[in-house]
Amino acid sequence: MTIDLPVVFAVLMGVAVLAYVVLDGYDLGVGMLLPAASPREQNVMVSSIGPFWDANETWLVLGVGLLLVAFPSAHGIVLGALYLPVVVMLIGLMLRGVAFEFRVKAEGWHRELWNGLFWFGSFLASLAQGLMLGYYITGFAPGFGTFLFALVVAGGLCGGYVLLGATWLIIRTEGDLQRKAVGWTRWGLLWIALGVALVSIGTPLASETVRMKWFDFPRTLGLMLLPAASAAAWLWVWTLTGRMKRGETTSEWKPFAGAVAIYALAFLGLAYSVFPYVVLDRMTIWEAAAHPSALKVMLIGALIVLPFIIGYTVFAYRVFSGKASEKLYD
Amino acid sequence: MDASEALFLARTQFGLNIAFHILFPSITIALAWFLVFFRVQYALTRRPEWLATYRLWTKIFALSFAMGVVSGITMSFQFGTNWPGFMNKVGNIAGPLLAYEVLTAFFLEATFLGVMLFGMNRVPNWVHITSAVLVAAGTSLSAFWILALNSWMQTPVGHIVADGQLIAGDWLEVIFNPSFPYRMIHMMLASGLTATFLVAGLSAWRLLKAPGDAGAARTLRAGILVGAVLAPLQAWVGDRHGLNTLEHQPAKIAAIEAIWKTEKGVPLVLFAIPNEQARRNDYSIEIPKGASLILKHDPDAELKGLDAFAPDTAPVAPVFFSFRVMVGIGMAMIALAWFGLWATRGGRAPPRWLLWTFAGFTFSGWVAVEAGWLVTEIGRQPWLVTGVLRTADAAGGASGAQLGASLTGYILTYTLMLIAYMVVLTHMAGTGSAREDPRAALVAEAR
C-alpha cells in the first residue's frame, strides 16, 4: 500500500494551524482583553499566559513551515497574495512579544506604554489573521467585496479569540477577575455567533466551488451535522456560563473545552470547503507538493518527534496548572 | 519597476531581517549554557548571589529569546515571498532541514523556557536544571540545522538533479558538507564570545555603579576567564575555516584578501581601498608574500585572484572591510580578556578604566558577528547556492511597492525594538542582581 503523502501533509498542516489558532488564540484573546481589566488584574492575566506564549507561536512556524516545505509552489502564491496582511500580522506579533517581556521590567508610564503596545499588537495580529483567512477562503478574489468579506471574517476571528481568551481566564483566575471573564465569554459567544453566521452565508455566495460542495443533496443532510454540533457546543458554553453567573459551581475547564470544540468544528467545515485545493480553484495539494523523497524524510522526522512535543507540552501545562498569581517570576 | 530594483529591495529587506534576527540567537545560544552553569553553581553552593545572578540573567535571556522568536517568525514567511526561486530549485533540500529545526529544536526550547523561567518553585530541583539544559540543547540544535543549511548553500554536495530540481541523494553528505564543521564551530564560538562579552560588559557596568556587588564580581570574573580561553581558540578556528574556504570557495578568499590577479608570492594586504573599476588596490599597506605564506604555508605559492573567477565574483570592498572589522574585534577581544585576567589575578579588584573598557565592549560581539556574516554572505555572491543557483534567479514574488512599504514598517519596528532592548538591558544590569529579588536570600536560607 502506498501512502498519499500530500494528503498526509495537508492533514499535518491542518492540525498545526488548528493547534496554533487555539493556542495562540487564547493568548491573543487575553491580550485583547487587557484594557478591560484593572492594573492588578492585568498582571494576573499576563502571568496566566507567561509560560506558554513562546511555544504557542511555534505552532505558527510549524504551520507556515509545513506550507513552505511540503507545498513550496503554494507558499509563494498564498503568502504573495497575502503579503501586506502577513507583514501587519508579523509586526503585531513582534510588538506583542517584546511588549510582554518589556512590561514586566518597566515601571510607571513605561509600563502603561508597553501594556498599550501589548494590546495593540494582539489586536493587530488577530485582525490580520482574520483578513488572511477571509482572503484565503475566497481564493484571493480581487475587488472591494472581498475586502469587506475579509473584514467580517476578521471581526469574527477577533471575537473568537476573545472567547478563547476569556474561557482560558475562567480556568486560570479566581474571584472578581473570573467573574469578569464569565461576562467576557458571553460577549465573545454573541460575537462569534454573528461572525460564523455571516461567514457561513457569505462563503457559499462568494465561491461556486464551496457552494457545490455543501449544497448537493443528499450529502447536505449529512453535512448539516457540522453546524448542528457547533450550535450544540455554543449552547453548552452559554448554559455553563449562565450557571457560573448565577454562582452555581461547575467545572471551570468546560467553557474552554466548548470554545475549542466550536473552533475545531468551524475549522473542519473550512477544511472540507477547500479540500483538495491548497489555493482555492487554482492549485490542488498534489500539484503543489514537494518531491516525495523530501516529504518522506520529513514525515519520518515528524512521526518520531511529534509524540515528544505533545508529551512535554502536556508536562508544561501540568506544571503550570492552577490559578495564576500576580507575580510572574515566582 | 524593473527586476534589478525588486531584487535590490528583496535583498535589502531579507538582509535587514536576517541581520536583525542573528543578533539574538548569537546571544542566546551561548547564554543558555551560562545559565546552566549559574543554575548548577547555585544548586551546589546554595549561595544567594548565584541565585540572584541566575535570576537576573534568565530575564535577560528571556528578553533576547523573545526578540529572536518574533524576528525569526518573519524569516519563515520571507523564504517564500522574497525568494520563490530558492524554494522551487532547492526546496527539497532546504525544506526538510528547516522542518527538522522546527520539530527538534523550536518546540523544545520554547516549551522548556517556560519551565525554566517560571517553574523554579513548582518543579523539583533536578527537573528545573534539566529544563535549563534542554533549553540550551534546543538553541544549539537549532544552530546545528540552520548552519547545516547555510553551509550546504555555500558548499553544496550530496544532491542529485531530477526534473530541474535538486533532491537529496545522501542526507548525511548534505548535512555534513565540507564547510559545515568549520562554520558550526566558528559560529558556536562566535556566540560564546558575544555572550561572554555581554556578561562581562554588563557586570562591569554594574560594578561601576555598585563596586560591592558580589554577584557582578563573580560574573565579570567568569566572563574574563571564558573570554581568555574562547578568543584565541576562535582565532585558530577562524584560520582553519579560512583554509577550508580557500579549498572550496577560492573566489571568496580572493575577495577577502583583495587579490585581483592570479600570482605567485602574493602579498598580504593589511589595509587598502579596493578599486572596483580599475581592479586594483589604492593606498595599500602590504606584507610581501604574506598571503601566500598564511594561506599556503609557502611564501612563493600561487594564489588564484579574482580574475580567475570573473565575472562571477563578489563586490570586493564590503567583503574586504568587513573581514578586517571582524578580525580586528577578535584581536581586541584576546588582548582585553588576557589583560583582564592579569589585572584580576589573585582576586585583585579591576581598575575603573578596565571596567569602562569592558562596559564599552558589551555589544562588541554583535559587531563581529555582523561583520563575519557580511563576509560569508556577500563573499559567495553572485551565488545563492554555489554553482547551482544565482541570487538574481531566486528573487521575485512580491512587488516593489509591497517590498518598499513593508521595509519601512520593519525598519520602524526593529529600531524601536533594538533601542528598547539595549536600554532595558543596561538598566537591568545597572540596578543589578542584588536589588533584584529581596526574597532570594530568604529562599536560600529556608532550604
Q: For residue A27, which of A60, A65, A66 has the smallest C-alpha distance?
A: A60
Q: Which phi-psi region, left, alpha or beta, contains residue B347 (left: φ > 0; alpha: ψ -120 to 50)?
A: left
Residue A324 distance to chain B (closest CA, Å): 11
> Residue A248, SS3?
coil
Give chain B positions within 8 Å (CB) of A324: none
- In this prediction, residue A112 carries a pLDDT of 82
- In this prediction, residue A94 carries a pLDDT of 84
pLDDT digit string (tens) for chain B, length 447 residues: 456 777 788 888 888 889 999 999 999 999 999 999 989 988 898 888 888 888 888 888 988 988 888 888 888 788 777 887 888 888 888 888 988 888 888 888 888 888 888 888 888 888 889 999 999 999 999 999 999 999 999 999 888 888 778 887 788 988 999 999 999 999 999 999 999 999 999 999 988 888 888 888 888 998 999 999 999 999 999 988 888 888 888 888 888 888 888 888 888 888 888 888 878 877 888 888 888 888 888 888 888 888 888 788 888 888 888 999 999 999 999 999 999 999 888 778 888 899 999 999 999 999 999 999 999 998 888 888 888 888 888 877 667 777 778 888 888 888 888 888 888 888 888 776 444 444 444 444 343
Q: For residue B412, which of A268, A129, A95 has the smallest C-alpha distance?
A: A95
Q: Which three cell numbers stand for residue B368?
A: 563581529
Distance CA A146, CA A246 (A): 42
Contact (CB<8Å) B398/A83: yes
Residue of B60, B73, B97, B131 to mutate for A, most A C-beta atoms under 10 A: B73
- In this prediction, residue B371 carries a pLDDT of 93
Which amino acid is residue A184, in one-letter code? Answer: W
Residue B305 distance to chain A (closest CA, Å): 38
Cα B159 to chain centroid, rounded? 27
Give chain A positions within 8 Å (CB) of B421: 98
- In this prediction, residue B397 carries a pLDDT of 62
Distance CA B170, CA B163 (A): 18
Q: Which three cell numbers stand for residue B225?
A: 576567564
Which residue does chain B place closest to A113, by CA atoms? B420
Residues B105-151: tens digit of each pLDDT: 888 888 888 888 888 888 888 888 999 999 999 999 999 999 999 99
Q: How many CB atoms lie within 10 A of CB B344?
A: 18
Residue A113 touches chain B, beta carbons under 8 Å? no
Give chain A positions within 8 Å (CB) of B437: 329
Non-local (6+) Cβ contacts of B213 within 8 A are B206, B207, B432, B433, B434
- In this prediction, residue A327 carries a pLDDT of 67
Q: Which three cell numbers stand for residue B67?
A: 526578540
Contact (CB<8Å) A83/B96: no
Residue A157 distance to chain B (closest CA, Å): 21
- In this prediction, residue B3 carries a pLDDT of 65
Residue A246 touches chain B, beta carbons under 8 Å? no
DSSP state of A324: -
Distance CA B299, CA B265 (A): 5
Q: Which positions of chain A have pLDDT values less than 70?
A: 1, 327-330
Distance CA B441, CA B447 (A): 10
Domain ranges of chain B: 3-230+391-445
Exposure letters B208-243 (e unless 16+ CB within 10 A, then b): eeeeebebbbbbbbbbbbbbbebbbebeebbeebbe
**Between A39-49 and A144-172, two packed helices, what is the crossing angle to 10 degrees?**
90
Give chain A positions within 8 Å (CB) of B21: none
Give chain A positions within 8 Å (CB) of B123: 319
- In this prediction, residue B435 carries a pLDDT of 43
Domain ranges of chain A: 5-318
Residue of A172, A278, A297, A314 to mutate for B, most B C-beta atoms under 10 A: A297
Residue A84 touches chain B, beta carbons under 8 Å? yes
- In this prediction, residue B2 carries a pLDDT of 58
Cα-flanking dihedrals φ and ψ of residue B303, to 5°? Answer: -120, 140
DSSP state of A224: T
- In this prediction, residue A115 carries a pLDDT of 86
Instruction: Identify the burial level of A62 via C-beta atoms within 10 angstroms of its C-beta, where 0-12 means exposed, 13-18 middle and 19 or more buried.
Output: buried
Contact (CB<8Å) B103/A301: yes
Q: Which three cell numbers stand for residue A197?
A: 453566521
Distance CA B253, CA B257 (A): 6
Contact (CB<8Å) B420/A60: no
* Residue B263 bridge partners (DSSP): B303
Which residue does chain A place closest to B162, by CA atoms? A291
Residue A251 to residues A171, A257, A321, B197, B409, Cα–Cα distance (Å): 9, 10, 14, 52, 45
Residues B370-392: tens digit of each pLDDT: 999 999 998 888 888 888 888 88
Q: For residue A278, which of A108, A101, A27, A75 has the smallest C-alpha distance?
A: A75
Residue A177 distance to chain B (closest CA, Å): 22
Question: Which is it for the CA torsion B262, B267, B270, B271, positive or negative?
Answer: negative
* Residue B389 bridge partners (DSSP): B385
> Residue A279, SS3?
strand
Distance CA A120, CA A114 (A): 9
Kind plus residue range of the DSSP H or E element containing A318: helix A292-319
Distance CA B100, CA B104 (A): 6
On the CB side of A24, CA atoms within 13 Å amount to: 28
Q: How many cross-chain Cβ pairs, A to B, lie less than 8 Å apart?
A: 205
- Minimum-distance CB partner of A290 among B92, B120, B409: B92
ipTM value for the complex: 0.80
3-state secondary structure string, chain B? CCHHHHHHHHHHHHHHHHHHHHHCHHHHHHHHHHHHHHHHHHHHHCCHHHHHHHHHHHHHHHHHHHHHHHHHHHHHHHHHHHCHHHHHHHHHHHHHHHHHHHHHHHHHHHHHHHHHHHCCCCCCHHHHHHHHHHHHHHHHHHHHHHHHHHHHHHCCCCEEEECCEEEECCHHHHHCCCCHHHHHHHHHHHHHHHHHHHHHHHHHHHHHHCCCCHHHHHHHHHHHHHHHHHHHHHHHHHHHHHHHHHHHCHHHHHHHCCCCCCEECCCEEEEEEEECCCCEEEEEEEECCHHHHHHHCCCCCEECCHHHCCCCCCCHHHHHHHHHHHHHHHHHHHHHHHHHHHHCHHHCCCCHHHHHHHHHCCCHHHHHHHHHHHHHHHHCCCEEECCCEEHHHHCCCCCHHHHHHHHHHHHHHHHHHHHHHHHHHHHHHHHCCCCCCCHHHHHHHHC
> Residue A249, SS3?
coil
